[in-house]
Amino acid sequence: MKFYIATDHAGFNIKESVKELVKSMGHEVVDLGTNSNERVDYPDFAHKLSKEVLNDSGSFGILICGTGIGMSLAANKHKGIRAALCHDAYTAQMARAHNDANVLCFGERVVGLGVAESILKAWCETDFEGGRHENRVKKIEIE
Ligand code: RB5
């Protein structure tokens, strides 16, 4: 799997560890910043990452801010992005299986590295189930 990752300052501290986790699971990860603890605006990074994911078919995104909320709100403004705010392995598994989510969001101030690892593992090991969920996912988009 190919992942793009971006954070704001409130997600920056966990970013390197998350990148290592993704690589250790055998996946590719492209870092889109931020690159320090200096304050930045999370929508700038959510929009940057969403554009990359939409331009790279089959890729996924990881967005981390303090809570994950702002990142998910901004990413979901992009048609074709299904950003899921996940708090644990179960929500990550369901985000993939039922919602065909393509961007994983979580909060550095909410989950620690251990939970982040279980979230990533569940995300990577779960495929979209399709079937009855196919039409529901299509209905998410409005013209
Ligand atoms: C930054 O303080 C914080 O508001 C941001 O990282 C995020 O949690 C917003 O949703």
Residue to probe by mutation, ligand 1, list 8, 76, 110, most atoms within 8 Å of CB: 8
The verdict on pTM exceeding 0.85 is yes
Determine the structural domain holding residue 31 and report its residue range.
2-140
What is the full DSSP assignment across the chain? -EEEEEE-TTTHHHHHHHHHHHHHTT-EEEE----SSS---HHHHHHHHHHHHHHSTT-EEEEEESSSHHHHHHHTTSTT--EEE-SSHHHHHHHHHTT---EEEEETTT--HHHHHHHHHHHHH-----THHHHHHHTT---
Q: CATH number of the domain at 97, please.
A: 3.40.1400.10
44 band by pLDDT with thresholds 50, 70 and 90 = very high
Instruction: Report pLDDT digits (tens) over 24-38.
Output: 999 999 999 999 999
Count the domains in the chain. 1
Specify the residue with its C-alpha closest to ligand 1, atom 9: 70
143 band by pLDDT with thresholds 50, 70 and 90 = confident
Instruction: Report pLDDT digits (tens) over 80-134.
Output: 999 999 999 999 999 999 999 999 999 999 999 999 999 999 999 999 999 999 9
Residue to probe by mutation, ligand 1, list 71, 85, 87, 106, most atoms within 8 Å of CB: 71
- CA–centroid distance, residue 89 to ligand 1 (Å): 22
Residues of the chain with pLDDT > 70, as a percent, come to 100
Tell me the C-alpha to C-alpha distance, in Å, between residue 49 and each of 56, 64, 121: 11, 11, 21
- CA–centroid distance, residue 130 to ligand 1 (Å): 33
Average pLDDT, the chain: 98
47 band by pLDDT with thresholds 50, 70 and 90 = very high
Tell me the C-alpha to C-alpha distance, in Å, between residue 92 and each of 48, 88, 104: 22, 6, 8
